[in-house]
Amino acid sequence: MRGHLPDENPGFVGRRTELERVSAALAEHRLVTVTGVGGVGKTRLALRAAHRAAERYPDGAWWTDLGQLDGERLLVALVADSVDLADHTPGMAATGLCRRLAGDRLLLVLDSCEHLAEPCARLVAELLAAAPGLTVLATSRRPLGVAGEETIALDPLPPAGPDALALLRRAAGEDFPAAGPAGEICVRLEGIPLALELAAAQIRLQSAEAVRDQLGSRLDAAPGARFDLLAHTERVWPSRHQTLRAAIGWSHELSTPLERLLWARLSVFRGPFDLASATAVCTGGPLDRATLPEALDGLVRASVVRPPDAAGRHRMLDTIREYGATWLDRTGEAGTVADRHAAHFRGLAGRAETEWHGARQLRWYRTVDAHHTDLRTALDRLLRTDPDAALDLVGSVAFAWSCRGRLREARDGLEQALLLSEARGRVRARALWALGVTLVLQGEFGPAQDVSERCAREARHAEYAEPAGAGAGAGVGTGTGAGAGTETGAGIETGAGTGSGRDRPGDLTLDAAALAGLLALTTGRPTAAHVVVGHVLDAARGGPADSAARLRCHLVRVFALTGLGRLAEAREKALRLRALCEELDEHWTRTALEYQLALTGLLEGDPVAASGHARAMLEGTRRLGASLGVALGLDVLATALAAAGEGERAADVSGTGEAYWRSTGQPRRGLPGLRALHEKYTDTVRASIGEPAYEEIFVRALTGLPQDGLDRALRGPGQHG
């Protein structure tokens, strides 16, 4: 089934009437918002309703958790990511999302909209206007206020009813009688699901009688004495929410001092966190590496922190995290812990970049992806407090973000940091390189040319003692001199540096050359690409295995040789590079080389070899989660199948490829040579199997599940079933 919804909470209890109301509203209205106080069960109800309704939407039901955002800047990017739109197009951020959804019939769930109610309302209104087949289900503590919105207010479970008691029983793991302490707890906590879960956690540690007595003394106190936290005037809790706040405060009081301290400090995490991250960010004072794991276990037992998932990651519910954040403010540690959080994730980003070239590349690539929310949170903090550190962080992860399809976030972060930071040298050169790659992938070749020239100047500034423009040392020219506008258009400079003692280009210059070469390749200038990387590689010491920058330059040179028609030489160099990548256990370059070898096979008239390399590329891009790479790989595979006369399979793979291209938000692209071959062989198989048959297969693949189409494409000869 299309779409993505989280697994349902096995503790869902009751809500039959409310579920029917939501289901009926979704059948009649295009925007349905479930409102209610925090902890009342809005997310659970919306998730159950989405699972129930999913089959009515041919293009799927998709889930977006907005609780991880602390501002609207990345709202569109997060929603786009949640519907598998790796938008590579420039322009207004919402345009690609509107275009992606325009022809689809799907359900989009926006969870936890309250802190972004106004920007959510604007985005939802724009999407509903652009996509007639779109239905939006939102959860929020207040309505969004969009025309046509159907609001369903969610109340707590009836305190004296069977559902509240069933929830308490399930959460506590005991079959309490209806009469007695358990029933009294349900009434005292007014049937609020989150409050009942917190009470159940304490029942597991104590007893129902003890919990009833503790709640009684707390809730029967005067209102001003119920809470161990001073109310903030800007955060007024509705009267019904006072009970939940009392329950959370009671859980807070029952926690040990170290658990309370950890609860407050953990509130800086906006996404899932593991023990290593919690330890790095939250230690200090009495909470050290020895005591933190026990404190974390205590919070898990109390249901304040969710148990670890299969990957060992914990998370906090928003309401509980907000409570902890208010305590963190009260302790005066908020800024200190936020700075520690930012420093930790800056360090993680730096380690990921350092280990990109080698056997741990895939592991770090996935680590960056898993911690994406907190890396963004750290970046936002550093943009406000330390722009130079922000430039360092985003320069370390932007290439991985771009590979993953998060081009808007990479570009936005890089451009902001470059504007605010005054840092020079390596950090700026690396960020300019990452921005240039991002712009090329977005098809913004004019701005990419400008950034490429700036990157080259910054590389020279960083690697040579003499001022940029003095002509000393090896470097990539700016394209503004005699070479500008020519076939090479890069103005390569090589030679012995004077005064600095460094007479060879380093990795910054190599990456600047690789960027200039990539830009030349994508704009149909293979000679320029070959010259720009060739001059720098000839002047540099070392081989391709010595650094990621050297490997990238060698990769560009292989593609340039292919574009120049020097196919045997290109294939021989590509095979050697691939063997080297296999030794290094390097994935990204190896995948790109499989694409080049597939293209070479096509140009040499060997479609069988091309098909094998295309499938190897697809396996690699699937591991990397790179939708643009999958789209490119499907195109070359479809072309190879067509060249081999397998018309029906070519149509199927081509239709799947079109589905992946649409997920990138841009029309089909690729190297100029492949586009011509694709059109040539597609026309041939259309004629051979007949236009109606080709179109039927193509449309069936286009409208089917993309993952199913990719699975079919990856089956080799004799594996068609």
The percent of residues above 90 in pLDDT, for the chain, comes to 51
pLDDT bucket at 721, cuts 50 / 70 / 90: very low
- Residue 400, judged by CB atoms within 10 A of its CB (0-12, 13-18, 19+), counts as buried
CB 479 within 8 A of CB 449: yes
In angstroms, the CA 620 to CA 616 distance is 6
Q: List phi, psi (to 5°) of 78.
A: -70, -45
DSSP state of 8: P
Residue 224 Cα distances to 192, 218, 231, 241, angstroms: 21, 11, 10, 15
pLDDT score, position 241 = 60
Confidence at 468, pLDDT banded by 50, 70, 90: very low
Q: What are phi and psi of 107, to 5 degrees?
A: -110, 125
Q: Give the strand order in the sheet containing 134-140.
A: 3-4, 61-65, 106-111, 134-140, 31-35, 150-153
pLDDT at 462 over 60: yes
Residues listed for the chain: 721
pLDDT digit string, tens, across residues 329-340: 999 999 999 999
Amino acid occupying residue 476: V
Output the pLDDT for position 612: 94
Query: What mean pLDDT do residues 446-458 have?
Result: 96
Mean pLDDT of 118-140: 93
Q: How far is CA 343 from CA 71, 83, 374, 381, 419, in A?
A: 21, 31, 11, 10, 21
Q: Which of 295, 226, 301 is nearest to 264 (CA)?
A: 295
Instruction: Find, among 243, 163, 249, 250, the residue nearest to 203 by Cα.
Output: 250
pTM value is: 0.82
Between 473 and 273, whose confidence is greater?
A: 273
Tell me how far apart the alpha carbons of residues 547 and 135 are, in angstroms, rounded to a whole number.
49
Alpha-carbon span 101 to 99, nearest angstrom:
6
**For residues 254 and 344, what is the distance between their CA atoms, to the nearest angstrom?**
30
Q: From CA 520, how far away is CA 325, in angstroms rounded?
A: 50
Residue 449: pLDDT over 90: yes
| Single-letter residue type at 124 | V
Judged against a pLDDT cut of 50, whether residue 498 lies above it is answered with no
**Are 83 and 18 a contacting pair, CB within 8 Å?**
no
pLDDT value of position 297: 95
Q: pLDDT tens for residues 671-718?
A: 666 777 888 888 888 888 998 999 999 999 988 888 888 999 998 665
Assigned token pair, 541: 């010491």
pLDDT value at position 494? 43
Q: Which string of DSSP letters, residue by residue, matches 207-237?
A: -HHHHHHHHHHHHTS-GGGS-SSPPPTTSPP
As a whole number, mean pLDDT of residues 558-566 equals: 94
Whole-Å CA distances, 490 to 108, 486, 523, 549, 668? 46, 8, 13, 18, 28
Single out the residue of 588, 691, 595, 590 nearest to residue 640, CA to CA.
Answer: 595
Decide: 511 and 451 in contact? Cβ < 8 Å: no
Q: pLDDT digit string (tens) for 593-647?
A: 999 999 999 999 999 999 999 999 999 988 887 778 888 899 999 999 999 999 9
The label of the residue with tokens 């919690």 reads 278
> For residue 138, what is the enclosing H or E element?
strand 134-140
Per-residue pLDDT, averaged over 159-173, amounts to: 88
Structure confidence at residue 252 (pLDDT): 87
Task: Give tens-digit pLDDT for 73-94.
Answer: 888 888 888 887 765 555 556 7
Task: Give the CA distances from residue 393 to residues 69, 145, 367, 598, in Å, rounded to whole numbers and listed in that order.
Answer: 19, 38, 15, 35
What's the average model confidence in pLDDT over 547-575? 95
Candidates 416, 354, 431, 420; CA nearest to 388 is 420
Q: What is the mean predicted confidence (pLDDT) over 524-549?
A: 92
Give the pLDDT mean for 315-324. 87
Mean pLDDT of the chain: 85
Please spell the DSSP secondary structure of 246-287, one letter per residue: HHHHHHHHHS-HHHHHHHHHHTT--S-B-HHHHHHHH-BTTB
For the four alpha carbons of 457, 462, 463 and 469, in that order, the dihedral sign comes to positive
Return the pLDDT at 454. 96
The CA distance from 347 to 155, in Å, is 44
pLDDT at position 276 over 80: yes
Nearest partner of 406 among 71, 4, 70, 80, judged by Cα: 80
Report yes or no: 512 and 556 within 8 Å, Cβ to Cβ: no
φ, ψ (nearest 5 deg) of residue 213: -65, -40
Helix (H) or strand (E) holding 152: strand 150-153
Residue 216 has pLDDT above 80, yes or no: no
Range 58-74 average pLDDT: 87
Element (H, E) at 4: strand 3-4
State the average pLDDT over residues 212-222.
Answer: 67
Q: How far apart are CA 491 and CA 493, in angstroms?
A: 6
Cα–Cα distance for residue pair 394/413, rounded to 1 Å: 6
What mean pLDDT comes out for the span 279-290? 95
Reported as type and span, the H/E element at residue 43 is helix 42-53
Q: Averaged over 388-395, what is the pLDDT?
A: 97
pLDDT tens sequence across 1-28: 678 888 877 667 888 899 999 999 999 9
**471 confidence band (pLDDT: 50, 70, 90):** very low
Please say whether the beta carbons of 346 and 392 come within 8 A.
Answer: yes
Confidence of residue 443 (pLDDT cuts 50, 70, 90): confident
Q: Which two tokens stand for residue 459?
A: 């590389």
Is a pLDDT exceeding 60 seen at residue 44? Answer: yes
